[in-house]
Amino acid sequence: MTRLIVWRHGNTDWNAGSRVQGQTDVPLNDLGRRQAVDAAELLVRLQPAAIVASDLSRAFDTAAALAALTGLAISTDERLRERHFGEWQGLTMAEVAAGRPDEHARWTAGQDVIGGGVETLDDLGKRVCDALQDAARLAPPGGTVVVATHGAAARSGVGHLLGWQREQLRTLRALQNCHWVELTHDEARGWQMASYNVGVLAERPAPPAV
């Protein structure tokens, strides 16, 4: 059985300010770096065989906390980047709601955003799913791979991997910073979710996964 850990990055100043990050390369803040270290101390117990990360620094630096404990090198994959939010990137969610109300309403309803250059949910789910499948192939039989990525990317990629419909995916709450999803795979049952939103007790409510 292969185990895949899909790990959201630690906190950033843009998370704290409810500002849309998307594929903007925003670094971890002090809280995020502490979260990464605390989470790594739990994840190292799973004896990962490989670590893969988005090439955006907030995910890569989160993965680096685990790499420091395991001695493993980090492979990067740009397909693990966060959803591209186009013209929303850099705006607060309040600014999006006020200035782009139709787009914001569709996002809130879990629909694809029409306009603004926002990546579709299907495109997001497929690219992240493909990256997760390739990452899982790095594990030896019975091994574990840890993938450091982003909130919306993690949820859509996992849903695509499990074959969930969009309505079913919306029943999952956003991943908290530095929390993860545990997935397992075997030949008889395929991919299954073993646990969701696992991690060290959060210091604040989860910000939107953007």
Residues forming the active site: 9, 82
Two tokens, residue 210: 């953007």
Beta strands 2-8 and 144-149, pairing class: parallel
The residues, any chain, with a CB within 8 Å of residue 108's CB and separated by 6 or more, are none
CA 102, 107, 112 angle in degrees (round to 5)? 95
Give the integer Cα–Cα distance in Å for 210 and 205.
15
Q: What share of the chain is helix, strand, coil (3-state, %, to 5)?
A: 40, 20, 40
Q: In what order do the strands lie in the sheet with 180-186?
A: 74-76, 50-53, 144-149, 2-8, 180-186, 190-198
Name residue 167's amino acid: E
